[in-house]
Structure 1
Amino acid sequence: MDADKAALRKTTEARRQQAHAALSERARDLVRDSFLESFEFSPSSVVAAYWPFRSEIDPRPLMLALHARGHRIVLPVAVRTAAPLDFRLWGPGAPLVKAGLGGLVPDIGAPELEPDTLLVPMLAFDDAGYRLGYGGGFYDRTLEKLRAAGPVRAIGLAYEAQRVAAIPRETTDQQLDAVVTEAGVTHFRKA
């Protein structure tokens, strides 16, 4: 299974880079608009986003739109290997520091909050709602922990070129509720 996932990571990362080079600005705006039209939030919602890394689709326009609507936005922080993520509060202009793989996260003094919705990056996804990440299992562990405590939505953000026939699946893999691409929204789980 590890070899299958490694091969798929290599090919889908190349496809994502091509899509990013061709579509990045247009796709991020289409994803933002589709997301805002398709999902509702309570005023007290805490939404976990991510700071874009490599050729991941850029969620920052969506983060700004959600923040402008009064939602609290948090960014993930990998504090320990093989553990769920922590989430620190973010807002426009908040100081960010480099983290583990070179991504940016709010500084250690930022308040920590538990999200009820996660915007999830990925290398690939399939029509059953499973995603392929970088292999650390952070999002799977995080979703397992959060879902055990109550309802939480996991919504992937990706380019349509990242859709594959099937993701090699393990029992620990967590299903996404939906994926938003420049082509629209695909729902997987019933809320």
Structure 2
Amino acid sequence: MTNVPASRRYASSPCLASEIAPDYFDPLAVDPEQERDVARWRKAERARLQAERTALSVACRQVVGAALVGHLRGFLADRFGGARGRVFSAYWPIKGEPDLRGLMAELHASGVTIALPLVEQKAAPLVFRRWTPETVMVRGNWNIPVPPPDADKLTPDISLAPLVGWDAENYRLGYGGGYFDRTLAALAPRPFTIGIGFQSARLTSIYPQPHDVPLDGILTEAGVQTTRHET
């Protein structure tokens, strides 16, 4: 790498990327080689974490999901008074993600407006359509069930972000498409964003790049891990 002391260099192989010093990555001064190395490392970590998650038993995922539901319910009650009257963007679980659909129905019944994100146009910010337990879902991008085109479009006040990986600085490792970061950058005002994931998916750092947007909080089955500010 250009102008990097020998003691701070690292192999481009993803399996050695953990040797990178976290303070080496200046988000305001990323060179192309550095960016490629981070992208390779993230691809490897993404595959590893997804494989670990997929390997979990159904019973284990149910335990994790139940714990997360309890922590999220308590967080919304403490921070947002239960979120009644607010627009709450959740997600439809895929690829072994924690299943929060029961909580979505519970919140809907308590007066929270539920929305689900979807890709309406590739390489553009996500849009959010209203969901209720009676919504007849259709297949969206990657065959993910989404509300139909005639569902109301909403702007969330609170938004969940499923995590493949996460770090203590509130940065999220997602699926690599950049949709969530692109959406947060476009929304004004920005919703309060909560990362939802497994405790075992914690990373020392995701080595944030200029396009990465930190979340406002992260919850796992172990409870609230980080929050950036009070509301």
Relative to the length of structure 1, the TM-score reads: 0.93
2:222 matches 1:183:
yes
The unaligned stretches of length 5 or more in structure 2 are: 1-37
Deviation at 1:136, TM superposition (A): 0.8
The unaligned stretches of length 5 or more in structure 1 are: none
Q: 1:63-82 maps to which residues of 2 (within 5 A)?
A: 63-82=104-123
Runs of 4+ in 1 over 6 A off after TM superposition: none
| Distance in 2 between residues matched to 1:19 and 1:70, nearest whole Å | 34
In 1, are the aligned partners of 2:184 and 2:190 still within 8 Å (CA)? no
SS of residue matched to 1:101: helix
Give the equivalent residue in structure 2 for 1:136. 177
| Distance in 2 between residues matched to 1:113 and 1:8, nearest whole Å | 33
- In 2 relative to 1, CA 62–164 (structure 1 residues): closer, same or farther, beyond 3 Å? same
Instruction: Give CA-to-partner distance per residue, 1:83-103, whole Å, 9 cap, x none.
Output: 110000000021101111121
Q: 1:32-181 maps to which residues of 2 (within 5 A)?
A: 32-39=69-76, 40-41=79-80, 42-146=83-187, 149-181=188-220
- Give me the identity figure in percent: 36
In 2, are the aligned partners of 1:56 and 1:158 still within 8 Å (CA)? yes
Please provide the CA RMSD for this pair: 1.5
Question: Which one has a larger percent helix, Structure 1 or Structure 2?
Answer: 2
| Distance in 2 between residues matched to 1:71 and 1:141, nearest whole Å | 25
Instruction: Give CA-to-partner distance per residue, 1:67-112, whole Å, 9 cap, x none.
Output: 1211000001101122110000000021101111121100001000
In 2, are the aligned partners of 1:34 and 1:185 still within 8 Å (CA)? yes
Deviation at 1:18, TM superposition (A): 3.2
SS of residue matched to 1:93: coil
Deviation at 1:22, TM superposition (A): 5.1
Deviation at 1:21, TM superposition (A): 4.1
State how many pairs are aligned.
Answer: 189
Question: Which of 1 and 2 has greater Rg?
Answer: 2
Relative to the length of structure 2, the TM-score reads: 0.77
In 2, are the aligned partners of 1:19 and 1:159 still within 8 Å (CA)? no
Higher alpha-carbon deviation: 104-113 or 42-51: 42-51
In 2, are the aligned partners of 1:77 and 1:105 still within 8 Å (CA)? yes
- In 2 relative to 1, CA 151–82 (structure 1 residues): closer, same or farther, beyond 3 Å? closer
| Distance in 2 between residues matched to 1:134 and 1:151, nearest whole Å | 21
| Distance in 2 between residues matched to 1:25 and 1:116, nearest whole Å | 28
In 1, are the aligned partners of 2:89 and 2:156 still within 8 Å (CA)? yes
For CA contacts below 8 A with separation 6 or more, give which structure has more relative contact order.
1
